[in-house]
Amino acid sequence: MPMTEKRQTVLAEPRGFCAGVRRAIGIVERALELHGAPVYVRKEIVHNHYIVSELEKRGARFVDSEAEVPEGAVCVFSAHGVSPAVRAASDDRRLEVIDATCPLVAKVHQEALRYAREGRTVLLVGHAGHEEIEGVRGEAPDRTVVIETVEDAERCALPDDTPVACLTQTTLSFDETARIVEALHRRFTDIVSPGSDDICYASQNRQNAVKELAAGCDLVLVVGSRNSSNSLRMVEVAREHGCAAHLVPDVGHLDERWLRGVRSVGVSSGASAPEILVRELVQRLAELGHDDVQVRRGAHEDVVFSMPGRLTDPVTGRVPRTPLADEAS
């Protein structure tokens, strides 16, 4: 009898939670521990349905606006950041605010404010309507133009000699962003950009890992929610590198038809996707015959963002373990 050909599942590393996501989830967990339920969270703390559901079970209440939070209540700002107008409205309602904005997003906020004060128009590369873009744009709404595509860059209704500064959403595809930034530099004669890239280290590392999967696998599956920008970009990157790819919010969304004729499946996950969802997907793939599990290691990540001081233990000065945030550790 002929030998059955092995079918592989190749796991990418790094994958899953980044430092900013782990910090944001931990902030909500710690706030619930200190203040008790309910703790209100403006928007989704991170863009993942599983995380939101688990935190809701523990007493978090997710709202679309600070106006929905009872006056004086505890309110956590999501990892994607908020505009100064949101902060002012929260102050008016005397909310006890705990800020979970990712430090890398906060850096973009500061850059936008600085360039606007210098008299430059901020060209903000990203997706209009995304929470991160709305927050950064709010730093200087009259001096900010959102650029989504190369065509937007070429058609931007500003004189070519306008002093401008280019900033980007942190979760974009590096390759696509580079094309837009290059178009802006061709277009404007007085343009500056930050000394370091705005695209976060975790998004870039996960995109690079997906490129490696795409080069050696027949199919790439990315675990992540449909509203997760960085997860969607990972799927796009795999497809751009010639590999079939799909977003899998959880194992229930796996379409077995995708596996027809596939020997090797690459699996990764977005920066806000917990490892439990990856484990469930890998288990199901094994049940379907892809039981030879390999790991493809890429960049090593050891970044840790500190928690707000007010959440530390008053005796030890440390932050107690936050189980959901540490789930992928």
**Which residue in the list 54, 111, 132, 134 is annotated as catalytic?**
132
Across 67-81, b (16+ Cβ under 10 Å) vs e yields eebeeeebbbbbbbb
Cα separation, 96 vs 73, whole angstroms: 6
Cα separation, 146 vs 3, whole angstroms: 57
Place of tokens 């490129």: 211
161-164: long-range contacts, CB 8 A cutoff, minimum separation 24: 161/188, 161/189, 161/190, 162/121, 162/188, 162/190, 163/118, 163/119, 163/120, 163/121, 163/190, 164/120, 164/121, 164/122, 164/123, 164/188, 164/190, 164/191, 164/192
Structure tokens that stand for 241 in this block: 């590198």
- Entry field: residues in the chain: 329
CB 61 within 8 A of CB 38: yes
Cα separation, 274 vs 324, whole angstroms: 9
Of the candidates 101, 135, 118, 138, the one whose C-alpha atom is nearest the C-alpha of residue 194 is 118
CA dihedral (303, 172, 51, 211) positive or negative:
negative
Place of tokens 């107008």: 85
Coil, strand, or helix at residue 105?
helix
CA dihedral (298, 103, 200, 173) positive or negative:
positive
Structure tokens that stand for 108 in this block: 């973009």
Cα separation, 68 vs 56, whole angstroms: 16
Known catalytic residue at 236: no
State the catalytic residues: 132
